[in-house]
Amino acid sequence: MSPELGTFSRILFISSFSHLQPPCCISEGMTEFRIRELRGSDARPLVSPLYQAEGNGITIRSDDLFFVGLIDEEIVGSVRFCVEEETPMLRTMRIAEKFQGKGFGRKLLKYFESYLIQNRVSTTYCIPYAHLENFYAAIGFRRIEESLAPTFLQERLKEYRKRPQEFICMLREAHR
């Protein structure tokens, strides 16, 4: 095991996305896809190169929680969960270019959903690219008017709208 993956991280393998199972794995041909939960400081050496490869920087806080998908020791992608101003958020999700379109993003997202359910996270926001609305809707996110989002997210959306991509505000509420 690579030392940069951290010895204190929890290794999580996936077999079912309806709820968490005891450790097992998904085989992708001859490879094994695993998901690890890592706190920001442990995730930094893994995920920073993923974002930099796309020309994006990332500010990683020590209390951010990353769900990092790996094949062998190679990073496939990650989901970053954080709580800002007491608001749970799916803050970023990235899949390495060579792994895009192969279903790994859906697996990471479904695992993230199981985390939210298991930990009874009642409300979660995300600000994705508009063309990903249906992707995030697969785990219960729905598009909302930005005026319904917390003020700090409304301000963030204003900043994002200065970019050429189109962004939307989405909310996932736990099933009651």
pLDDT in tens, 63-115: 999 999 999 889 999 999 999 999 999 999 999 999 999 999 999 999 999 99
The string of DSSP codes covering 59-123 is ---TT-EEEEEEETTEEEEEEEEEEETTEEEEEEEEE-GGGTTTTHHHHHHHHHHHHHHHTT--E
The CATH number that applies at residue 113 is 3.40.630.30
Q: Are residues 36 and 96 in the same domain?
A: yes
The Cα 74–Cα 70 span in angstroms is 5
Q: Is the pLDDT of residue 13 over 50?
A: no
Q: Which residues span the domain enclosing 160?
A: 122-176
State whether 104 and 20 are in the same domain.
yes
Q: Are residues 146 and 59 in the same domain?
A: no
Are residues 102 and 140 part of one domain?
no
Residue 128: DSSP 8-state = -
Residues 117 and 51 in one domain: yes
Q: What's the pTM? A: 0.80
Structural tokens at position 46: 């893994």
Residues 60 and 128 in one domain: no
Q: Do residues 4 and 46 touch, judged by C-beta distance below 8 A? A: yes
Of the residues 78, 94, 121, the one at which a domain ends: 121
